């Protein structure tokens, strides 16, 4: 074998290696390309903090100002949970105080009051219902809490202690004769002056058939929920 032939063969082998390296280099992804092809990282889903009903506060944004309610979860857990859960869904937003009896109570929470065209004489009969339209009623949770001014309780049919659903009333004047007859689930901690303005502006008709029917309906524009002590 001549020297020239061996040289040509070595050169050919080197060229073949260089060619193979060039192909591999072209096929290998660059840093940027590799980064683009990397599987996307899964977003971390933050678990919602469970609601502490015992520490929940509700602020009623009304047509006359704000009213803050503190709940008595230890006395009426079902009543508190019902009100808070409905408020969170916007159930009470846009409803009116449909029964105003000066010196006694102011009542609201009827979904019928935000349905245009309904006869006001039918207000007070609205209920919270399930997907099939059946009423969702609560068992009575009578307690030792006295019905002093500012107390918030579930409204019900007089004949049935287990007929409360979504409506509620706020006591305007100490009414101990209601004790252990109604489900007290909260109390106004701020805004009783607003409640008094609602009473004044409602101008209830003393001759109305259903008693306490306003001539000017005052609204709950929105209910906002917060947690007691949050942000401190």
pLDDT digits (tens, 9 = 90+) for 147-180: 999 999 999 999 999 999 999 999 999 999 999 9
90-148, pLDDT tens digit by residue? 999 999 999 999 999 999 999 999 999 999 989 999 999 999 999 999 999 999 999 99
d(CA 181, CA 166): 17
| Distance, CA of 227 to chain centre | 12
d(CA 75, CA 124): 25
pTM above 0.75, yes or no: yes
8 Å CB contact between 25 and 182: no
d(CA 99, CA 145): 23
- β partners of residue 142: none
Mean pLDDT of 217-232: 90
pLDDT above 50 (res 5): no
pLDDT above 60 (res 20): no
Mean pLDDT of 189-197: 98
Least Cα distance to 146 among 119, 181, 197 occurs for: 181
Least Cα distance to 52 among 232, 230, 231, 223 occurs for: 230
Least Cα distance to 224 among 127, 112, 84 occurs for: 84
Dihedral angle sign, alpha carbons of residues 206, 210, 213, 215: negative
Q: What is the CATH class of 53-227?
A: mainly beta
Choose between 213 and 34: higher pLDDT. Answer: 213
How many C-beta atoms surround the C-beta of residue 212 within 10 A? Answer: 20
Mean pLDDT of 181-189: 98
37-86, pLDDT tens digit by residue? 666 676 666 667 889 999 999 999 999 999 999 999 999 999 999 999 99
Q: What is the pLDDT of residue 229?
A: 81
Q: What is the pLDDT of residue 47?
A: 66
d(CA 192, CA 214): 19
Dihedral angle sign, alpha carbons of residues 224, 225, 229, 232: negative
Q: Where are the domains of the chain?
A: 53-227
């Amino acid at each position: 074998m001549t020297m020239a032939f061996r040289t040509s063969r070595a050169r050919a082998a080197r060229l073949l290696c260089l060619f193979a390296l060039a192909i591999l280099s072209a096929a290998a992804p660059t840093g940027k390309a590799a980064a683009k092809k990397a599987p996307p990282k899964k977003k971390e889903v933050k678990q919602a903090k469970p609601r502490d009903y015992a520490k929940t506060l509700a602020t009623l944004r009304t047509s006359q100002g704000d009213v803050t309610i503190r709940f008595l979860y230890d006395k009426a857990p079902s009543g508190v949970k019902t009100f808070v859960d409905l408020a969170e869904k916007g159930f009470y937003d846009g409803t009116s105080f449909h029964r105003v009896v000066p010196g006694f109570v102011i009542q609201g929470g009827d979904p019928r009051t935000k349905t245009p065209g309904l006869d006001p004489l039918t207000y007070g009969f609205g209920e919270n219902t399930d997907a099939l339209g059946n009423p969702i009623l609560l068992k009575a949770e009578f307690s030792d809490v006295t019905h002093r001014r500012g107390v918030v309780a579930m409204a019900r049919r007089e004949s049935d202690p287990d007929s409360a659903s979504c409506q509620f009333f706020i006591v305007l004047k100490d009414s101990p004769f209601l004790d252990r007859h109604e489900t007290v689930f909260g109390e106004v901690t701020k805004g009783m002056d607003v409640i008094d303005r609602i009473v004044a502006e409602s101008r209830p008709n003393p001759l109305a058939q259903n008693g306490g029917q306003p001539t000017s309906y005052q609204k709950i524009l929105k209910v906002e929920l917060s947690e007691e002590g949050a942000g401190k």
